[in-house]
């Protein structure tokens, strides 16, 4: 498909902070894997081998050298791609390496935090983070931080599990707070009435953390965390590893990581202070909240309004907060129970996988968008959900395409990737591009396999995969502005920005099928009511169909793909699409 590119990039809003969350095109990046601006910080100022520094650019599980200075140097590249907001994976100080013998890996991803108040030296300095934000703002681009409140790095150990691979979860019924080590243990914590009474007075009576396990902090790590209150085991659940179900979902250790007792008002106040300070000091524009569903909803009910208040006080009126709720069936509920303004749209990703990287009908999108009424404010919330096709945890879209269609030609794989981007960049929600997707990164099905280096990799498993739309691999730097996927995203991003119907407009389903084939929507300018018709073909055969349009939409011109110049009759437009093709048609309403 030939995309009708715009002749010029539309200017961003003069005041970037006046843009609503749904006005953005987001780019998600792990700094360690993007661009290395300063090789001097590759080891984070630490001495020794990789078991100490965490640095080994040939191993997918270790630091590779990317940093904030490198990210700042690529802002022109991102702007050419049409990006308006950069979501940066956690940049806080991490435990460099953790894990038992044979299971060690590094905190290059940023989710093993020890110091919540400063930038990890592997990524640079606080000043360099501020410079990145200032440089982005000067270009009219926003910066979102990825934050964690569920857990810290794995520092706390349990006497009962020393040398063991895991500590099974111990629930509240069998290991109540008022007994040591089980219902028959010695009485402890007199007067504590349980974690459901979330007051300072009640939690002052919780003084002994030895109800399920006997937690301790190794001597070498007594003061490993900052702020200092984080070093006290009393502020953690200490119940062993989560099974990610039931009670353990919010109280268990996330794969061994120390699980904060977010029911405790001291923890709530501490996290508000920590993250409010990042807003105050750096003027960031939003937070993506990691592992959001593994925290009790009362925490978020206090935390989210506090962050919005801090942002408003800083002059940031449209601070975007979205939680990671990695369960399509539960994501809408969290906008009600936890009061999240927005959540990552895993359900949208699943619809893409089922249809474009699968063989289900286009009616999966009907079911998806019918669910928009379940969000706290219906479509007004749904339109702010960051949508995505793949990410650093769940794998890249291209990998799923190749898996689903192992006999497909590379040309077909490319067309399916291009089609997924067209859906992502034109339908409701906030399109989020995972770094490297624009270069055809083929990734893998899990976290480590989907975290390739963009600055030229030394990891054999990454470099063994051919890029989509190119004969290259990740062995050489991947910032090609002429690649077919880059050019498509850039064109569609600018198309989106130029047309409020695609950012803020109402969305109306026009056609869907119970098999691969036609999917069509209309979106409407929120001010003028002008109609854009979006049509997609998920099948490998060309199609011609009639699609309902507004009776006043009589003439059309193409914004992408090919469009009939006139309606077939009032209220009906002929849509002709090539295999795996799409079109965006703008109506010229009769005056």
Which residue's entry shows tokens 């009639």? 546
Residue from 56, 253, 290, 437 carrying the catalytic annotation: 290
Pick from 90, 92, 97, 88: which is nearest to 121 by CA?
92
Alpha-carbon distance of 246 to 250, in angstroms, equals 8
Tokens of 290: 């990691």
Check 23, 59, 120, 324 and give the catalytic one.
324
Residue 92 in contact with residue 85, Cβ under 8 Å?
no
Angle between helices 363-370 and 346-355 (to 10 degrees): 170
| In contact, 579 and 543? CB cutoff 8 Å | no
d(CA 419, CA 401): 12
Minimal CA–CA distance to 420: which of 399, 449, 445? Answer: 399
- Three-class DSSP category at 449: helix
- Residue 321 to residue 307: CA distance in whole angstroms: 9
Strands 531-537 and 430-434, how do they pair?
A: unpaired
Q: Which of 297, 232, 239, 238 is nearest to 270 (CA)?
A: 232
DSSP 8-state secondary structure symbol assigned to residue 215? E
Mention every residue, 6+ apart, whose C-beta is less than 8 A from residue 90.
109, 110, 111, 113, 145, 146, 147, 148, 290
Q: Are 512 and 519 in contact (CB under 8 A)?
A: yes
Of 487, 379, 387, nearest in space to 440 by CA: 487
Please say whether the beta carbons of 525 and 499 come within 8 A: yes
Helix (H) or strand (E) holding 365, with range, is helix 363-370
Q: Find the distance separating the first CA and the last CA of the chain, reported in whole Å.
A: 32
The C-alpha atoms of residue 438 and residue 488 are separated, in whole angstroms, by 9
User: Long-range contacts: 354-359, Cβ < 8 Å, 24+?
Assistant: 355/516, 355/519, 355/538, 356/401, 356/416, 356/419, 356/420, 356/423, 356/538, 357/397, 357/400, 357/401, 357/404, 357/416, 357/420, 358/404, 359/404, 359/516
Active site residue 290: yes
List, in order, residues 6 or more apart from 473 with CB less than 8 Å away: 462, 463, 464, 465, 466, 467
Q: Is 283 exposed, middle or buried (0-12, 13-18, 19+ CB in 10 A)?
A: middle
Helix, strand or coil for residue 364?
Answer: helix
Catalytically active residues are: 290, 324
């Amino acid at each position: 498909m030939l995309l009708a590119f715009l002749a010029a990039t539309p200017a961003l809003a003069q005041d970037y902070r006046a843009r609503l969350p749904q006005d953005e095109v987001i780019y998600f990046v792990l700094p360690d894997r993007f661009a290395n601006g300063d090789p001097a910080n590759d080891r984070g100022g630490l001495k020794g081998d990789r078991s100490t520094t965490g640095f080994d650019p040939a191993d997918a599980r270790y630091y590779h050298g990317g940093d904030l200075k490198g990210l700042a140097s690529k802002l022109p590249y991102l702007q050419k791609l049409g990006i308006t907001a950069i979501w940066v994976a956690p940049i806080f100080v991490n435990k460099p390496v953790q894990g038992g013998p044979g299971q060690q890996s590094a905190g290059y991803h940023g989710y093993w935090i020890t110091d919540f108040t400063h930038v990890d030296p592997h990524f640079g300095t606080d000043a360099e983070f501020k410079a990145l934000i200032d440089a982005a703002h000067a270009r009219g681009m926003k910066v979102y931080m990825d934050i964690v409140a569920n857990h810290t790095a794995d520092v706390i150990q349990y006497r009962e599990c020393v040398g063991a691979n895991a500590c099974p979860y111990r629930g509240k019924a069998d290991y109540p707070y008022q007994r040591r080590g089980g219902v028959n243990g010695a009485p402890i914590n007199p007067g504590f009435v349980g974690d459901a009474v979330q007051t300072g007075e009640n939690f002052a009576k919780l003084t002994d953390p030895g109800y399920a396990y006997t937690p301790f902090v190794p001597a070498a790590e007594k003061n490993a965390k900052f702020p200092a209150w984080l070093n006290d085991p009393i502020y953690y659940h200490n119940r062993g590893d989560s099974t990610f179900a039931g009670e353990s979902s919010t109280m268990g250790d996330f794969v061994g990581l120390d699980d904060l007792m977010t029911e405790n008002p001291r923890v709530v106040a501490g996290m508000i202070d920590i993250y409010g300070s990042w807003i105050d000091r750096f003027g960031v524009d939003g937070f993506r909240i990691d592992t959001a569903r593994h925290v009790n909803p009362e925490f978020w009910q206090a935390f989210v309004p506090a962050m919005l208040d801090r942002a408003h006080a800083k002059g940031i009126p449209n601070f975007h907060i979205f939680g990671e709720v990695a369960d399509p069936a539960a994501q809408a509920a969290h906008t009600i129970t936890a009061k999240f303004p927005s959540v990552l749209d895993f359900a949208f990703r699943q619809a893409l996988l089922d249809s474009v990287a699968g063989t289900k009908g286009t009616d999966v999108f009907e079911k998806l968008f019918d669910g928009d009424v379940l969000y706290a404010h219906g479509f007004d919330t749904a339109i702010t959900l960051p949508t995505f096709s793949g990410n650093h945890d769940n794998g890249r879209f291209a990998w799923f395409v190749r898996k689903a269609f192992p006999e497909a030609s590379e040309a077909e794989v490319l067309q399916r990737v291009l089609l997924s981007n067209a859906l992502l960049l034109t339908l409701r929600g906030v399109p989020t591009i995972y770094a490297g997707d624009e270069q055809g990164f083929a990734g893998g099905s899990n976290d480590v396999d989907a975290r390739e280096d963009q600055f030229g990799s030394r990891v054999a498993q990454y470099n063994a995969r051919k890029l989509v739309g190119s004969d290259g691999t990740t062995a050489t730097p991947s910032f090609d502005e002429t690649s077919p996927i880059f050019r498509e995203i850039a064109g569609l991003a600018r198309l989106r920005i130029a047309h409020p119907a695609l950012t803020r407009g109402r969305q109306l389903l026009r056609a869907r099928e119970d098999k691969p084939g036609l999917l069509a929507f209309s979106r409407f300018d929120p001010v003028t009511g002008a109609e854009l018709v979006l049509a997609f073909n998920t099948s490998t055969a060309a199609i011609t169909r009639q699609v309902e349009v507004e009776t006043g939409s009589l003439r059309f011109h193409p914004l992408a793909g090919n469009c009939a110049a006139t309606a077939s009759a009032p209220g009906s437009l002929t849509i002709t699409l090539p295999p795996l093709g799409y079109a965006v048609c703008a109506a010229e309403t009769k005056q």
